[in-house]
Amino acid sequence: MLLLDHSAWSRLLADQAPPHRENDVLDWIDDGTLATCSPFLLEAGFSAFDAAEHSEEMQRLERLSHFPINEAVERAALRAQFDLARVGHHRLPPADLMIAACAHVAGGGVLHYDRDFDLILEHTSLSFESVWLAEPGTL
């Protein structure tokens, strides 16, 4: 399972991703590998300009698999924030921590374009695959 982060999704929608990665994403959608979770859906909904766009976005995303937030995810995210606080990085966006915790609990990865996920991997006990949409700094 590969959880979607808004940093990747927004660039995909803006047609900014490299063509090879767009093909990967289409394959991941087709085989059910690409998934959402509530923090991502809230970010996607927040970015909508109006109710019509919000509805269209949610309809598009409901085709993807969905990983639920459960107690294990909550504990993992809180533990990760504590670990980050010890090294001065606790002010990362809560949605990123929850998405990373979902990936950790699912034994999967995160598709993103955001250095925060590498900081989470470096400074916490969360274990997940960090999959960049494109090489950092190229989009």
pLDDT digits (tens, 9 = 90+) for 80-108: 999 999 999 878 999 999 999 999 999 99
For 91-126, letters b (16+ CB in 10 Å) and e give ebeebbbbbbbbbbbbebbbbbbbebbebbbebbeb
Global pTM? 0.94
- 57-78 pLDDT, tens digit per residue, is 999 999 999 999 999 999 999 9
Distance between CA atoms of 106 and 102, rounded to whole angstroms?
6
CATH of domain 2-132: 3.40.50.1010
Listed residue (106, 105, 123) closest to 115, CA to CA: 123
Tokens of 87: 């090294």
